[in-house]
A and B are shown apart, each in its own frame.
Chain A
Amino acid sequence: MLPLIGGVLGYFFQSGKSYRLPALFIGAGLIQALRLLTIDPEVIRWSWVPGIELGIYIDHLSAVLVSLVYFISLLVHIFSMHYMCGDPGLGRYWFKLGFFTTSMLGLLISDHLLLLFVFWEMVGFSSYLLIGFWFKETEKATSARTAFMVNRVADAGLIIGIIVLITMFGQAYISELNPIENTGWLTFAGIALAIGAFGKSAQFPFFGWLNKAMAGPTPVSALIHAATMVTAGIYLLVRVYPVLTPVALYLVAITGALTAFIAAVAALFQNDIKAVLAYSTISQLGYMIMGVGVGAYESSIFHLWTHAFFKAGLFLAAGNVIHFMHKANHDVDGQDMRNMGGLKKYLPFTFLTYLICGSALAGLPLTSGFLSKEGILGASLDAPVLIVPALAFVSALLTPFYITRQILLVFTGEVRKGLHVTNETFNEPWKPVKMPFALLALGSIWIFSSFNPFNAHGWYLGEYVFGPEEPVQSPYGIIVLMSSIVLVAMGIGYAYTQFKPGARKALEYKNLVEATGAIRFFLSGWAIDRVYAFFNQGTLIVSNFAALVDRKVVDRLVDGAGLMGIILGKGTGLFDRYVVDGIVNGLAGLSRMVGRTLAKIQAPGIQTQLAFMLFIMVLMIYWYLF
């Protein structure tokens, strides 16, 4: 509850120094959460209506994740002081942030599945509020709505799964879930629950919303993408793991691997600094989901933990870059990487953070990301079908490629767009704000996760969360280790040759920005580039395709169609546009119908309202009496 109180206070005392209040409350909550770490698993129940008991359940997993959420939330609060400074809706912002954090914490500690669902919805709703924070811009409001609606579709899956679990199997408490006989209904429930988790964790086919969620303030993106909302799906899957049937797990693993691959491909072609991060998040979430699917949920939680650190670091750093771009040059789009370049000079500290966190994302040895990712990769080899490890390893190659590309494009080379750096104070955020960066970057180094930089099962907290595990000696251990290092090295090396300062592609990237209308020139420039085509025909085709989609989107924006196009890889753009939007539209129609019916409660007058009220009252009395 503390974040909410802090948020409310922050809302009411917007002036002066009071913006520190919410952060203070989060800090207090963090201390509380650390205290939680020391206690034994605990179940608290209270009766709600006769026959149904709600409860909260805190075990080591919850305690660790609660601390994590508090920690990231605290850092985001601190960073927001810098990033959101001077925004007129600041009080509102604190309130929403507090609301969101509170819902997320509730989600992590609730025991009854229905309670979990309630918090699940609250998380969805508060994220809608946060994404649509700048609701005056129609595009952003639309993005928030789309994100919300896509989530709702998946939530339908979740509630169906919960209902089946409760009514058919009588398993309503997370702490009491146990394996039961494998029936068709159980598979159905498992798949439904998995769909719910896919929605929250932005998995195929629901990943479209995460990119749109980028419309929110950047610290919010850090909070949503790093520690909280998207990991709710993983958390749910880990929790319901005992009741997932092999078929459901199979589906989960395939979806995870597929998402990891699709999103990694999509991330290769993004121009928006936040969009790259968004797709990389989706890709990493795909890893986690896949990990659960192949039974390595420990590695998934481990990856969740490390991912929270380096992704929050990346987002905050990106936020800093955007902040800087906005201040330095008002005329250009501050999120477009085509306008950036050479920022190392101006933002050395941010660059350092970005570099460390980015290498963790890439899975470079000696970083936390390497450890956790390797655990998942190793486990993926146990998957029933070959496609899962295949996609996983390909994604592991693509990940270092796109993050290296991004770092090189943003921070190195020449400044592509004239920056008016008038005041040196713009360059780096003030001191207290550096703290989150430093903490997150440090958290991305191996030593804070596991003493041995090459032992994927050496997570400090692993034993604490899941109890002592028998040492699993994977037959592929050393092969996985070597191959992932090789893959990372290949990805980074290739990206570096392509995008190093002064390289042809880096220069062409600049061309693109000077005249967006001159994409034709850009394309023809590529066509001449026989050498490049010779080396990598495949990439050229995909790139051309992406460029085409890009042009389409640009044209559409010019035409004022106002559609937020997503530049996805092969086919995913089409899929997203037709299938996801179709579902969204269909759902919108359905909800409009339901809404019209229910609106009668509100609309005609006091007597109708009274009738409904009495009706509910009579029902409740019946419920209580009989």
Chain B
Amino acid sequence: MMAIPLIYYLLLSAFIFCVGLAIILIKKNGVFVLLGIELILNAANLNLVAFSKFDPTLDGQVFAVFSVVLAAAEAAIALAILLNIYKQYRSTNLDELNQLKN
């Protein structure tokens, strides 16, 4: 079985990361930005798992699972906050959120 070089995974992960970054920077909608953050987390996970393939202790995967759980928690909270924001401003456009208090 011919192994796939680690560098492929790293490049793929870098690409995912940068797409996530671009989405965060470009999109106006809060939900979209959240999605970008998830992508960045995924890129990190991919790196972790790829590295753990060459590590007999499997710690990388354990850590990746933690980060998935964190991502889930973060998504839940962020969406709840977005809902509240929507209630307040009738919009999820991040640009329009310019007050801490009204």
Contacts and interface: CB of A to CB of B under 8 A. Distances in A.
Q: Do chains A and B touch in the complex (CB under 8 A)?
A: yes
Contact of A610 (B24, B95, B97, B98): B24
Interface residues on A, range: under 10
A213 to B, nearest CB: 38
B2 interface: no
A605 interface: yes
B24 A604 contact: no
B25 interface: yes
B25 A605 contact: no
A611 B98 contact: no
B98 A607 contact: no
A605 B24 contact: no
Contacts of A607: 24-26, 33, 94-95
Interface string B14-32: 0000000100111000000
B21 A605 contact: no
Interface string A586-626: 00000000000000000011110011001000000000000
Interface string B43-62: 00000000000000000000
Nearest to A605: B95
B95 A614 contact: no
Contacts of A614: 21, 25
A604 B97 CA distance: 10
Contacts of B97: 605
Interface residues of B, number: 9
Contacts of A604: 95
A611 B94 contact: no
Contacts of B21: 614
A607 B28 CA distance: 9
A610 B94 contact: no
Nearest to A606: B94
Contacts of A610: 24-25
A605 B21 CA distance: 16
Nearest to A610: B25
Interface in B55-102: 94-95, 97-98
Contacts of A605: 94-95, 97-98
A605 B24 CA distance: 12
A611 B27 CA distance: 12
A603 to B, nearest CB: 10
Contacts of B95: 604-605, 607
Nearest to B26: A607
Contacts of A611: 25
Nearest to B95: A605
A605 B98 CA distance: 8
A303 B63 CA distance: 70
B89 to A, nearest CB: 13
Contacts of B33: 607
A605 B94 CA distance: 7
Interface string A210-226: 00000000000000000
A605 B28 CA distance: 10
Contacts of B94: 605-607
A606 B25 CA distance: 9
Interface string A404-418: 000000000000000
A67 B94 CA distance: 54
A556 to B, nearest CB: 43
A83 B26 CA distance: 57
A608 to B, nearest CB: 8
A102 B31 CA distance: 49
Interface in A270-307: none
Contacts of B26: 607
Nearest 4 interchain pairs by C-beta: A605-B95, A611-B25, A607-B25, A605-B94
17 contacts: A604-B95, A605-B94, A605-B95, A605-B97, A605-B98, A606-B94, A607-B24, A607-B25, A607-B26, A607-B33, A607-B94, A607-B95, A610-B24, A610-B25, A611-B25, A614-B21, A614-B25
Interface of A: 604-607, 610-611, 614
Given A605-B94, A605-B98, A607-B24, 9 more contacts: A604-B95, A605-B95, A605-B97, A607-B26, A607-B33, A607-B94, A607-B95, A610-B24, A614-B25
